[in-house]
Amino acid sequence: MAKKYFPSPPLTYLLCIVTLFTLIIPISSRPATFLQDFKVAWSDSHIRQIDGGRAIQLVLDQNSGCGFASRSKYLFGRVSMKIKLIPGDSAGTVTAFYMNSDTDSVRDELDFEFLGNRSGQPYTVQTNIYAHGKGDREQRVNLWFDPAADFHTYTILWTHKHIVFYVDDVPIREYKNNEARNIPYPTSQPMGIYSTLWEADDWATRGGLEKIDWSKAPFYAYYRDFDIEGCPVPGPAICPSNPKNWWEGYGYQTLNPVEARRYRWVRMNHMIYDYCTDRSRYPAPPPECHA
């Protein structure tokens, strides 16, 4: 079959297309930095800035843990950080990266919690979701690499349609918006971005059987490459579901085929706990587990 010839479009046409895409696709926000976008939440003596605030070190010792928080709250979007976790014997420690509405009885929260381990054991990441004050939705995954050997990227995507937790672009959890079925979903409360390093040896490692070994202290976790792309509040009135916000675009409302395949791989090979299948806690699975 003869190859068909399609004449090149005129330059003015190409310029119009470029202009159109410039109007539709939002310009990427600048990279976040600790100095500009975050503040110390507690124990500033245990948080050290590195490389001009582009990276930080969190310290846990017998005196204190520590934490930091974003200066703004956001309503939908994507946040990510590169984290290098505590090496060696980190049993009893928790390094957390999460979003929180900072409200009491009806708080919304999206959690990454990295549970310390005894040397040589897999590092476990626990995710949890609070919506309209209802939590207890824990899932746990054993990471398939050593997260203390190098930095890895941890991301929370929050749209009107679903919430996705990513590890190095691999989705490890998806929580869909099923408000139409009266299942709570965070839609109205803006959330800040937080990270903490703290002692939790009453539950963090093997349900509290493995206690923290303070002879290994101080414990260090490292953060860098902060990225925040979302609707700051105060800011746009309600940050509506708008395709101009890239995270509300069609391609981000469901897992794409590659993500779906990776998601199945994680759940089949690395998931070690899912509240949906815990019959001791939930004799009848919660309704979102059937979604």
Separation of first and last alpha carbons in the chain: 49
Which residues is 112 bridged to in the sheet?
97, 127
Q: Annotated catalytic, 174? A: no
Q: Annotated catalytic, 113? A: yes
* Contact criterion met (CB below 8 Å) for 144 and 267: no
| Residue 287 Cα distances to 139, 181, 182, 255, angstroms | 16, 9, 9, 21
Query: ∠ CA 249-162-98 to the nearest 5 degrees?
Result: 110
196 Rama class: left (phi>0) / alpha (psi -120 to 50) / beta:
beta
User: What is residue 148's DSSP assignment?
Assistant: T
By CB neighbour count within 10 A (0-12 exposed, 13-18 middle, 19+ buried), where does 117 fall? buried
290 in helix, strand or coil?
A: helix
| Catalytic-role residue among 109, 199, 210, 288 | 109
Catalytic residues: 109, 113
